[in-house]
Amino acid sequence: MEQVRVVLRASDPLSYEGLLSYLQSRSEFTVVDPADQAEATVFVVSCDQLTADVVALLRRSAAELAVPVVLVVSEITEAELLIAVECRVVAVLPRGAVTADRLAHSVLAAANGGGVLPPNLVGELLKHVERLHREVLTPNGLNAAGLTSREIDVLRLMANGFDTHEIADELCYSERTVKNVIYGVTHRLKLRNRAHAVAYALRTGMI
Amino acid sequence: MLADRDAVSDPFAGELFLTLAMEGRLVIDAVRADAAIADLQRTLSAVQNRLHVLRVRQGRPTWRMDDLPDDLASDVVNAIFADQLSPGRLEQAEIELRKYIEAVRCARRPGPPPGAAASNTPEPQ
C-alpha cells in the first residue's frame, strides 16, 4: 500500500512530538520535512485556537499545496470552522481527545477522500444553515417582547421626562437599581442611549 | 464542539458554500439537501415579508401602529425591531440565502449519504 505523506505543524513542541510519535507508529504514514511539503498528501496542523497566524498558515497551505488538512484544535468557533473548511480542512479533532487511532483514521480518510468533506463536517455546515433562520429573524436572540415589567416601568417614566432620581423615588428603587435597569435594557437591545430606548419602547407599543 | 467567541459576528457564508459545492467538496445526500433547501426557502420567504413591511412603512411615514390589526401589528413590530437591532441584515440575508439555496442544490446528490463510502467511515471511538 502506498504510504500517505504527511506534513506536520504544531504550535508547541510537546504537541508536535506527541503527534509525530503517533504518526511514526503507523506504517501507513511517512512524515515529510516541511521543506519538502510539495510532496505531501495530507497536512496535519495542531493548535490551541485558530489564531491569525494559524489562519494565515492554513490559507498559505490551501493556496500552495491544495491538500486536505486535518486540524487538531482545543476549541473552535462556528465562524472559525467555516474559515477552516475554506482552507481545505476536512477533519477537526479535539486536541484533548486525540489518540493514535483517531489521528490515523482522520489522516487516512483525508488522503482517500479527495478533499470531499466528511459527513460530520457536512453536519456542522448544515447546523450553520439551520441557525441562519434564528439569527436572521431574531437577532441577538431577542424578539419584540423581550422586556421585563421592571424595564417597562422605568422606560415609561423615562418617556414622561423623569430623571434617574425621580424614577427611583416613584418606583421605590435605589438610583443604582434604576441605572442598572437602564444599562441592562440599552446594552441587551444594543440601543444607543436613553432616548433610543424610549423610542424603541414607544415604537414597539411597550409603553 | 463549537465555542461561542464570535456569537455576534457576521453569520453569512453563502459564497463559501457556493465555492465548496462547485468544487465538489460539499456533497449532501438528497434527503438532507431537500430539508435544508426547504428550511432556507422558508427563511427567505420570511425575510422578504419583513423587507416588504419595512418598505411599505418607509413609504408611509405617518403610518400608526394603532391603525393596524393586532396580528399584523405584531409582524410589523418584529420586522422593525429586527431591523433596529441589525440594520441592513435583512437585505444582506436576502442575497446570501439565495446563494445558500443554489449551493445546496449544487451539492445535492441522489442516493445514500456519502458517509456510506469507504473513505468516510465513522471515526473510531
- Kindly indicate the confidence band of residue A137, based on its pLDDT and cuts at 50, 70 and 90: confident
- The residue with greater pLDDT, A202 or B15, is B15
pLDDT at residue A145, rounded to an integer: 55
Q: What are phi and psi of A104, to 5 degrees?
A: -60, -45
pLDDT at residue B58, rounded to an integer: 78
- Kindly indicate the confidence band of residue B125, based on its pLDDT and cuts at 50, 70 and 90: very low
Q: What is the ipTM of this complex?
A: 0.77
Residue B85 and residue A140: Cβ atoms within 8 Å? yes
Q: What percent of chain A has pLDDT over 90?
A: 46
Read off the pLDDT of each residue in A117-144 and give the average, rounded to a whole number.
Answer: 79
B32: closest CA of chain A, how far (Å): 8
- The residue with greater pLDDT, A65 or A55, is A55
Read off the pLDDT of each residue in A137-162 and give the average, rounded to a whole number.
Answer: 72
Read off the pLDDT of each residue in B59-87 and give the average, rounded to a whole number.
Answer: 72
On whether the CB atoms of residues A67 and A112 are closer than 8 A, the answer is: no
Alpha helices in chain B (DSSP H): 14-22, 30-59, 70-85, 89-107
- The residue with greater pLDDT, A116 or B37, is B37
Grid coordinates of A187: 446594552
List of residues 6+ apart from A174 with CB closer than 8 A:
A168
On whether the CB atoms of residues B25 and A82 are closer than 8 A, the answer is: no
- The residue with greater pLDDT, B81 or A165, is A165
Looking at the partner chain, which of A76, A113, A190 has a beta carbon nearest the beta carbon of B119?
A: A113
Within 10 Å of residue A25's Cβ, how many Cβ atoms?
A: 11
SS3 category, A45? strand
Fold annotation for A149-203 = Arc Repressor Mutant, subunit A (1.10.10)
Between positions 109 and 128 of A, the ones with CB within 8 A of B are 109, 112-120, 122, 124-126, 128
* Segment B99-122, tens digit of pLDDT: 999 999 999 998 766 555 444 434
Q: How far apart (Å, rounded) are the C-alpha atoms in residues B90 and B105?
A: 22
Within 10 Å of residue A120's Cβ, how many Cβ atoms?
A: 14
| Contacts B61 to A, Cβ<8 Å | none
- The residue with greater pLDDT, B115 or A79, is A79
Grid coordinates of B69: 390589526
Read off the pLDDT of each residue in A106-125 and give the average, rounded to a whole number.
Answer: 90
Least confident residue range of A52-56, A115-119, B91-95: A115-119
With 50 as the cut, is the pLDDT of residue A66 above it? yes
On whether the CB atoms of residues A31 and A6 are closer than 8 A, the answer is: yes
Q: Mean of the per-residue pLDDT values for chain A? A: 87
- A53 CB near a chain B CB, below 8 Å? no
Looking at the partner chain, which of B82, B100, B123 has a beta carbon nearest the beta carbon of A102?
A: B123
pLDDT at residue A144, rounded to an integer: 52
Read off the pLDDT of each residue in A62-67 and give the average, rounded to a whole number.
Answer: 90
Q: How far apart (Å, rounded) are the C-alpha atoms in residues B64 and B54?
A: 13
Q: What is the CA radius of gyration of chain B?
A: 19
Q: How far apart (Å, rounded) are the C-alpha atoms in residues B62 and B58?
A: 9
Q: How far apart (Å, rounded) are the C-alpha atoms in residues B16 and B3?
A: 20
Please state which architecture CATH assigns to domain A4-121.
3-Layer(aba) Sandwich (3.40)
**Domain ranges within chain A, ordered by starting residue:** 4-121, 149-203
Alpha helices in A66-204 (DSSP H): 78-86, 100-112, 119-137, 149-159, 164-171, 175-188, 194-203
Strands A42-47 and A4-10: parallel
pLDDT at residue B121, rounded to an integer: 39
Q: What angle do CA B52, B58, B65 make, to 5 degrees?
A: 85
On whether the CB atoms of residues B28 and A127 are closer than 8 A, the answer is: no
pLDDT at residue B124, rounded to an integer: 42
* Segment A173-198, tens digit of pLDDT: 888 888 888 888 888 777 878 888 88
